[in-house]
A and B are shown apart, each in its own frame.
Chain A
């Protein structure tokens, strides 16, 4: 039985191992294209999609092997679209075998003629193996400890293991349990990945850029697990396909609707109600998947939690997926989310500031296998928009709107020894903001920006289990004519149970999300762009896009089929950042100042996966420091720069999760620990009057002042919380009823959400509360 590489569309010829030598990355693309084109004159190509016969879902990681008359094997593994590709086959008779654990294999005999490009679509039927064992093996491609050069793949099953207040399952619950991902609290929807800011995360839904997809209550996002096929989190070192952000990538790929028969589910809990329906519009040709959720927090959960929860949110997702031809697929998705809430209710008699935002996104994706060349073409057009407001609904104090129209085409060229990804991207961004005094040196404005990019990234298999992905992204931002060059590199060495991986890259970002991080209760983000250079103004910020340099190195070992261990270290160097300028005035409207930063740390992960028991333990260490440059710093602190740890610098994180199946019950518990976040301790409060003239002090206007020692010189208390859930599923003829009982914050820990130093008001995260959930799924 041949062995196959388990990622991407890579192939290997087992009977005749290659002595391929690494060529410079710059020539790889040309060689791949030339070889592919030249080879087609005499050879045949086999390609196709593999799906689950029961619901039409594409099957990823299916082994597709060909054996010729001499007994030599050629093989490929399907990608996330269920696509396999075997180019440059010698004409002749082959025995084809497609196999995937948990499914009955398919075997067939093929006669391939010279110059033939055959599209062979396969449908696999689930096998008879015990379901539990199948899951153990099949899900080994993901998991808490399975990290490869900063990339972690998340499946819906991983999401469902995390205890949450309801049964709808949400990606946000899992993301916040990962080492290196910091959330300042259980509300606000702000995620910091390995030292980066939330606005520096690239969040994609089937390739559509989303600006704020996380709901205001931290358990939820726009991504219920029911709609997700897989999610790839790149905590750093991401490849050339991704750009325009400098911290991380959260790449969510959605499922297709069932194109064989209708199915659906309805979920109810005191927090949300949700419904999902999917089915064929044209059987085997066109399917729909729709999901809708609406929060019930204000009506249902407040009594359980015992305190006001002034939050409302919801999302609607619709996806159409069509099989256009044997080799082409077309899909369209629509997403709409809404959030509103008050994070700081106690404002000393003043009306509380309500924050509101909405995501609207739509996109069309066309996946095709042209017959003329050995490539896969992935073309997308998408639109997304995020308006955000702060203040009364009829008269917001601040508002910001960002929208973009995006055209992208990615192509993968398949060769014998290497595949090459390349693509082009054009994004038209519109920004509109009225900041009401916030960020005084960033003017309120309307902007239209054009951002373009091209990239190339071959994957080279150099033998001895080494894969190298050198890449180059050429990014054009309109702040300057010259392109921003972004070299990237990912290297993976795998042998037996061991894997060593490394990644590095340069990243730039031109659209900035400005937030006053001194105010944890403020999640309002103003979207703006890097100022263009002007001849009449000497602006140190002009033309300088925030830049990051990533480097990371990891090791993973699987000493036993049920155990996986991994460790990964990272370093990020950040420059051209903009952060809130320091001031002793007790206010949150302030200027912005340039800053640099760096973040380093490491993750340690262990995962145990048995048929009836699952557990992981992760530890993350990180150290993030910014250095601000401000003209007054020398006067204030005697130094040109001010180094400080920003308020998301969580030094230590520990997450433990255990899930066990007992007598039909599935019991999950999770304990999370995080060391305290930095905040600015004050010495006291007095007043200030500007003495700039000879006049009576009674006629000089005074203002209050906070006497700080140094910015972010202290840390808030540690965070820790235990969550628990127990589920039981009852199976009926065509339906399954799942019930859940959960306890969040089991020992009622007073975890601080934010502390207002000016008023000494403390807002805590959610206390102990129980929740009940029901889910009825039918087929």
Chain B
């Protein structure tokens, strides 16, 4: 049995509904049993509560003039967020520069109509700087997170040689701590039924990078990718096997990310990441704040390379 005290009273405890059967009042004999039952009454403590005040989600990036972070209060009831100010004071510290920035709340409405709080501050996150974000509730409870923006870096594309290697190497300087969302998009042309078509095909290279003394090495297997593309085209179009496939360009995209931005197995699966504590860097709270920037290059290999 749960004794109800003042502390418990703050918990979300389901209350009895007032239901009175018509016979209840006219059977005094049952009163004794009723007292007995009341003595055994037990409420349900469905939510334990936590001292952690907030959950944060967002990304710091030097590629935007304004930084945005979602702030969810950790509550003891699952109710839609009300369009009212959040009891939170948000500031960021640039630990490298020693500067402080106050963030402002903005209330947004999701597509499903729910309200959400997104805090923002008008500054670009500096390359290579470490930032601390602190969200403080009026009672002093603080949720904080630190994230380091990766230093500026650029991809080194494969050289345009006449004698192609079996794999084309892309190098990213080693000071970038982590690469995610690596994607290669081929743009190509081909002939089908006397018509020249232009299509694109994307391949994920997540997890295929490795760190070498020269930096992050990503090896493009163009020959294998083209084989896959041809197989796919054969399924979709009447294609003469002798018809050449003209690679127009390769778009190479990836995110230079901070070290913590690393989902389990390299896969961003919401069903996995939704569990609190998975890919989390927030202290005294839940959530994840990443830091990084997009890298994108277009590589146009020589026709002879593709032909070979």
Contacts and interface: CB of A to CB of B under 8 A. Distances in A.
A20 interface: no
Given A694-B293, A747-B33, A750-B16, A704 B276 contact: no
Contacts of A342: none
A578 to B, nearest CB: 17
B22 to A, nearest CB: 7
Contacts of B168: none
A132 interface: no
A698 B106 contact: yes
Interface in A662-692: 679, 681-692
A559 interface: no
B61 interface: yes
A461 to B, nearest CB: 51
A645 B23 CA distance: 39
Interface string A34-55: 0000000000000000000000
A749 B37 CA distance: 6
A632 interface: yes
B17 A690 contact: no
A487 B3 CA distance: 52
Contacts of A743: 23, 30
* Interface range for B: 35 or more
26 contacts: A306-B21, A583-B271, A583-B274, A583-B275, A584-B274, A585-B271, A585-B274, A681-B47, A684-B52, A684-B74, A687-B116, A690-B270, A691-B57, A697-B69, A747-B30, A747-B36, A748-B33, A752-B44, A755-B14, A755-B44, A757-B47, A758-B78, A759-B78, A760-B47, A760-B77, A768-B21
A154 interface: no
Given A632-B275, A635-B278, A768-B24, A686 B46 contact: no
A707 B23 CA distance: 43
Nearest to B43: A717
Interface string A737-748: 000000100111
A538 interface: no
Nearest to A750: B16
B75 A685 contact: yes
A701 B75 CA distance: 20
Closest 8 A/B residue pairs (Cβ):
A762-B14, A747-B33, A717-B42, A687-B72, A692-B268, A686-B55, A697-B58, A689-B57
A757 B70 contact: no
Contacts of A306: 19-22
Contacts of B274: 583-585, 688, 705
B213 to A, nearest CB: 28
Given A683-B48, A694-B292, A635 B21 contact: no
Contact of B50 (A631, A684, A697, A722): A684
Interface string B29-47: 0100110110011111111
A636 interface: yes
B223 interface: no
Interface of B: 12, 14-17, 19-24, 30, 33-34, 36-37, 40-50, 52, 54-55, 57-59, 61, 63-64, 66, 68-70, 72-78, 106, 108, 110-111, 114, 116, 118, 120, 181, 255, 261, 263-264, 268, 270-278, 286-290, 292-294
Contacts of A768: 21, 23-24, 30
Size category, A interface: 35 or more
A716 B42 CA distance: 9
Contacts of A761: 14
A472 B273 CA distance: 48
Contacts of B120: 698
Contacts of B116: 687, 702
A562 B289 CA distance: 74
B245 to A, nearest CB: 27
Contacts of A698: 68, 70, 106, 108, 118, 120
Nearest to B111: A701
Contact of A635 (B22, B58, B181, B264): B264
A540 interface: no
Contacts of B46: 679, 681-682, 755, 757, 760
A770 B30 CA distance: 12
Interface in A755-774: 755, 757-762, 764, 767-770
B16 A707 contact: no
Interface in A488-522: none
A748 B275 contact: no
A2 interface: no
Given A683-B49, A747-B34, A752-B44, A694 B111 contact: no
A438 interface: no
A537 to B, nearest CB: 19
B73 A686 contact: yes
Contacts of A762: 14-15, 44
Given A682-B46, A690-B273, A694-B294, A748 B58 contact: no
Interface string A220-256: 0000000000000000000000000000000000000
A761 B36 CA distance: 25
A636 B37 contact: no
Interface in A715-731: 716-718, 720, 722
A691 B290 contact: yes
